A and B are shown apart, each in its own frame.
Chain A
Amino acid sequence: MSDTPQPVKIEPARKSGMRSASVVWIIPILALVAALFVAWQTYDDRGPLIEIKFDNGAGIARRETELRFRDVAVGVVEDVRFSPGLTGVVAEIRLDKAIAPYVDVGATFWIVRPELSARGVSGLDTVLTGVYIEGAWDGDIGPAASSFTGLTEAPLFRLGQEGLQIALRTSAGGSLTENSPITFRGIEVGRIGKAQISPEGNFAIADAIIYAPHDRLISPSTRFWDTSGFTFSVGPSGAQIDFSSFATLVSGGLTFDTFVSSANRVTDGTMFEVFSDEVSARNSLFARDETDPFEMRVVFDENISGLAVGAPVELSGLQIGRVQSVSGVIDGDRFGDERVRLNAQLSIQPSRLGLPEDVTPEEAQAYLTERIDDGLRARLASASLLAGGLKIELVQVENAPRIVIETGDGSIPIIPTTESDISDVTATIENVVGRIVDLPIEDVLNSTIQFLDSARTLLSSEDVRETPQAVRALLGDVRSIVASDDVQGIAGTLNAALLRFEGLLAQLVEDRLAERLVNAVDAAAAAADGVTASVEGVPDLLAQFQAIATKAETLPLQEFTEQLTALVASMDDIVGTDAARELPADLSAALNEMNATLRELREGGAVDNINATLNSARQAADNVAISAQDLPALVSRMEAVLSQANQTIAGYNKGEALSRDAQAAMRDLSAAADAFASLVRMLERNPSALIRGR
């Protein structure tokens, strides 16, 4: 501790610049190096900037919106600005360096937004986080690009996705719903992409993808059809409503089936047609493949209602197309007046014309043009008499004036027309209707009414009313007769008579005694004449009968003679009685016999006899047929005999009051004779009727 301070050594100030520098400078230098390193690294890590142009920048935010690839962020939007001319929004995206080389010219970008559809919700995460830009590119490094155009919606095909890409085309009148699922057995196996309308506007076409491994379900014979909407049908089993799924009900959808197995695989880009339903899809498989239809026009002078869109176009009765549209046309230059004409646009299917396979529409059109030169004309014809619809027929007209068809570009060629067939049909219908009108229906009705009136008056007359009573009385009489003991005996007699008749017929068969019989009957007629001459002379008559009988006995045929004798004896017995009152008793007896016979018949005893008789009768009838010419004479003579007999009996009626029953019996006998006559006539005409019973 001294009061005087030591001399101060001030060495540091003399040191060199390097030595005087403080080590603390290392800190800022390190900081600087670190900052520079970080800056360099940041710059080095920074990927390239790409530009994507979108229609609108919905939800794209600077430094927030990410670019994602397979749902991993690979970039971020650095800036959003308008494109020159304000035609769109350009998002500048800083890519990650690692992924940048893959973002080549084939890359596609689209904005993922939340989407709520009938099939469900997608992109829900973007509700909270905001939209993001999804990119798709393949794993190969291609030519670099820095400017892209974003897609308006997510593409159907994402690069690297396995699947079969096909094109779907609507059939005529069909529809396609874009972004709808393709289901198979209810499972979504593919999607329809964005649909486009063909340049001609006659069908829609859409890309579609069938995801692997379902693409093996598709073969060239696969048919697609629309499952959207629902079908409602009422059948025997009740009402039925069908729809595939709720999603397809609302948003539409397709399904497909391969009706005919095929080993061929389908390559990407194959075109398939979409049918409206399964039936038409199935039918189409067996029809020829349809090619693109071509269009032609027809202008009809007549304005005839009934030609509707979809009406068939026929060539030689074969449908080759359909009416696509119907409109009126006024073309003063072409037709010379200002009338409205019927303009029908036809869609003609070339493959239906019967031309060779893979015919093009142009070839088919050329063919039709050629035919038109030869006189092919279009005309309206009735498609259906009941429905009244019209169709268009292409018919060959002989000596048709030559017409030049314009087939220039832009205008649809017009098929010349000829007189329509429709008026003929109308005339025919009118004819038919006229004839129906001309039928004398009223006269017939009047006659019928008159007839019915007469019938009513007849029926309401007293006589007719009494008829039942008379009939009843008659029946009562008949019953009393039948019930009487006498009638009981008739059957036996009748049986005997039948037996004899059988024998007689057999005899007739054997000996062809018709002529002799005729003679005999002639004699009988003569005898009857005698009888007629005098009632009192009945014994004489009988004597003559006796004589005839004796004569007959002299005939060589013993049996016949005996029977005839017996017959005449019976007649003698009947007629020869003094008291005509006994006649009923005999009749009763005869009826008794008949009754017994009937009983026997019922019991079957006489059936054999009858059979035998009928057999004989058949043979006799055969013979009768042979000598048919004789029978009429015989019959007439018999009739004469019987009428004489009738008169004779009528003569009896004068003296002694014969009972009504007897008279009736006589009448019946007469009727029986008539019936027999008719029977004989019938047999004459048709002998075999005896056998067949008709």
Chain B
Amino acid sequence: MEISGQNQNFISARDLGVVACTRCTQVWPAGTQICDRCGSTIVARDEKSLQRVWALWLVGLMCYVPANTYPMLQTRTLLSVQEDTIVGGAVELIHHGAVGIAVIILIASVVIPLAKFMAIAFLAISVMRPSSVSSHHRQLLYEVVEYIGRWSMIDIFVVAIMSSLVQLNTLAAVNPGRASLFFALSVIFTMLSAQAFDSRMIWDAQTRQERNPRDE
């Protein structure tokens, strides 16, 4: 509604010859290297942002594969040792009738991480080539990804709490599986990847889009 209507009269900071510190939001004239207020480096556009995004995204994806193939939780009781992967555990929960918990686990551990990967990839691609999704929507998507990243560790929390609580020596014990480490790494790298994305590039693409028809 309002967002789409603002497209036409949008002016970026670079067009105005200023640059904002991404840390303390102090606005400086373009070309300022160091923020005088907080001392952080100031760049108008992070040229290597996309590279970092893609590199970290790739590592996150690489870690996500073993996170799903290796067992997440090792449940050792007197009689047996059970090792469950994330999906396997969820399926087992469904078999036991706990559909609600299974759905939560599936959303938290599978849907959201995958959605994050896709969202970051989409954002990274969309700044380089034209996209039908408006810049405001992409900005919103980026903010959601940024926000949700910190909650992606919920699986790791569960495993950590379970492992520390259920340690009854020989009777029963819950130990984190190898997947938990990879899952944590995957989450971390995904968050880093999302942070590495310079959301200002969304708007650069917008202006480029607007300029190009004008150039013609």
Q: Kindly supply a per-residue 1/0 record for chain B positions 43-82, scoring 1 wherever the CB is within 8 Å of any chain A CB and 0 otherwise.
A: 0100110011001101100110000000000000011110
Report the separation of the CA atoms of residues A5 and B58 in the bound assembly, to the nearest whole angstrom: 38
- A31–B52 contact, CB under 8 A? no
- B30–A24 contact, CB under 8 A? no
Task: Please give the distance in Å from B198's CB to the nearest CB on chain A.
Answer: 12
> Which of A7-15, A110-118, A365-373, A666-674 forms part of the interface with chain B?
A7-15
- A12–B51 contact, CB under 8 A? no
Cβ contacts under 8 Å, A21 to chain B: 48, 51
Cβ contacts under 8 Å, B35 to chain A: none
- Which of B16, B18, B44, B62 is within 8 Å of A35, CB to CB? B62
Known: A8-B31, A128-B78, A128-B79. A28 touches B48 (CB 8 A): no
- A27–B29 contact, CB under 8 A? no
Chain B residues 126 to 150 lying within 8 A of chain A, measured CB to CB, are none
Determine if A461 is an interface residue (Cβ-Cβ < 8 Å).
Answer: no
Which residue of chain B has the shortest Cβ distance to A25 in the bound complex? B55
Determine if A441 is an interface residue (Cβ-Cβ < 8 Å).
Answer: no
- B47–A9 contact, CB under 8 A? no
Determine if A384 is an interface residue (Cβ-Cβ < 8 Å).
Answer: no
Cβ contacts under 8 Å, B51 to chain A: 20-22, 24-25
- Which of B52, B63, B80 is within 8 Å of A24, CB to CB? B52
Report the separation of the CA atoms of residues A6 and B59 in the bound assembly, to the nearest whole angstrom: 39
Determine if A496 is an interface residue (Cβ-Cβ < 8 Å).
Answer: no
Cβ contacts under 8 Å, B58 to chain A: 28, 31
Known: A6-B31, A20-B48. A31 touches B59 (CB 8 A): yes
Task: Please give the distance in Å from B108's CB to the nearest CB on chain A.
Answer: 24
Report the separation of the CA atoms of residues A2 and B47 in the bound assembly, to the nearest whole angstrom: 26
Cβ contacts under 8 Å, B59 to chain A: 27-28, 31
Determine if A452 is an interface residue (Cβ-Cβ < 8 Å).
Answer: no
Cβ contacts under 8 Å, B196 to chain A: 24
Q: Kindly supply a per-residue 1/0 record for chain B positions 1-33, scoring 1 wherever the CB is within 8 Å of any chain A CB and 0 otherwise.
A: 000000000000010111000000000011100
- B52–A1 contact, CB under 8 A? no
- B44–A27 contact, CB under 8 A? no
- B47–A4 contact, CB under 8 A? no
Query: Can you spell out 12 A-B residue pairs with CB atoms less than 8 angstroms apart?
Result: A1-B29, A4-B17, A5-B17, A8-B17, A8-B30, A12-B47, A20-B48, A21-B51, A24-B48, A24-B56, A31-B62, A128-B78
Report the separation of the CA atoms of residues A27 and B58 in the bound assembly, to the nearest whole angstrom: 9
Cβ contacts under 8 Å, A13 to chain B: 47
Task: Please give the distance in Å from A38's CB to the nearest CB on chain B.
Answer: 9
Report the separation of the CA atoms of residues A252 and B51 in the bound assembly, to the nearest whole angstrom: 80
- B52–A22 contact, CB under 8 A? yes
- Which of A5, A7, A32, A130 is within 8 Å of B18, CB to CB? A5
Which residue of chain A has the shortest Cβ distance to B52 in the bound complex? A24
Known: A8-B31, A31-B62. A20 touches B56 (CB 8 A): no
Report the separation of the CA atoms of residues A64 and B71 in the bound assembly, to the nearest whole angstrom: 14
- B18–A8 contact, CB under 8 A? no
- B47–A5 contact, CB under 8 A? no
- B56–A27 contact, CB under 8 A? yes
How many of chain B's residues touch chain A, expressed as a range? 20 to 34
Task: Please give the distance in Å from B7's CB to the nearest CB on chain A.
Answer: 24
Known: A25-B51, A27-B56. A8 touches B44 (CB 8 A): yes
Which of B14, B55, B78, B196 has the most C-beta atoms of chain A within 10 angstroms of its own C-beta? B55
Task: Please give the distance in Å from A15's CB to the nearest CB on chain B.
Answer: 9
Chain A residues 267 to 311 lying within 8 A of chain B, measured CB to CB, are none
Task: Please give the distance in Å from B12's CB to the nearest CB on chain A.
Answer: 13
Which residue of chain A has the shortest Cβ distance to B78 in the bound complex? A128
Report the separation of the CA atoms of residues A2 and B59 in the bound assembly, to the nearest whole angstrom: 44
- A5–B78 contact, CB under 8 A? no
Cβ contacts under 8 Å, A35 to chain B: 62
Q: Kindly supply a per-residue 1/0 record for chain A positions 26-65, scoring 1 wherever the CB is within 8 Å of any chain B CB and 0 otherwise.
A: 0110011001000000000000000000000000000010
Chain B residues 92 to 129 lying within 8 A of chain A, measured CB to CB, are none
Known: A1-B29, A6-B29. A22 touches B79 (CB 8 A): no
Cβ contacts under 8 Å, A1 to chain B: 29
Known: A13-B47, A20-B48. A27 touches B31 (CB 8 A): no
List 20 additional A-B contacts (Cβ < 8 Å) besides A13-B47, A24-B196, A27-B55: A1-B29, A5-B29, A5-B30, A6-B30, A6-B31, A8-B44, A12-B47, A12-B48, A20-B48, A22-B48, A24-B51, A24-B56, A27-B56, A27-B189, A28-B55, A28-B56, A31-B59, A31-B62, A128-B79, A130-B80
Q: Which 5 A-B pairs have the closest CB atoms?
A: A5-B17, A22-B48, A22-B51, A24-B52, A12-B47
Report the separation of the CA atoms of residues A35 and B59 in the bound assembly, to the nearest whole angstrom: 11
- A31–B17 contact, CB under 8 A? no
Which residue of chain A has the shortest Cβ distance to B193 in the bound complex? A24
Cβ contacts under 8 Å, A22 to chain B: 48, 51-52, 55
Cβ contacts under 8 Å, B56 to chain A: 24, 27-28
- B31–A5 contact, CB under 8 A? yes
Cβ contacts under 8 Å, A27 to chain B: 55-56, 59, 189
Task: Please give the distance in Å from A386's CB to the nearest CB on chain B.
Answer: 69
Cβ contacts under 8 Å, B30 to chain A: 5-6, 8
Report the separation of the CA atoms of residues A9 and B30 in the bound assembly, to the nearest whole angstrom: 9
- B17–A28 contact, CB under 8 A? no
Report the separation of the CA atoms of residues A21 and B52 in the bound assembly, to the nearest whole angstrom: 9
Cβ contacts under 8 Å, B31 to chain A: 5-9
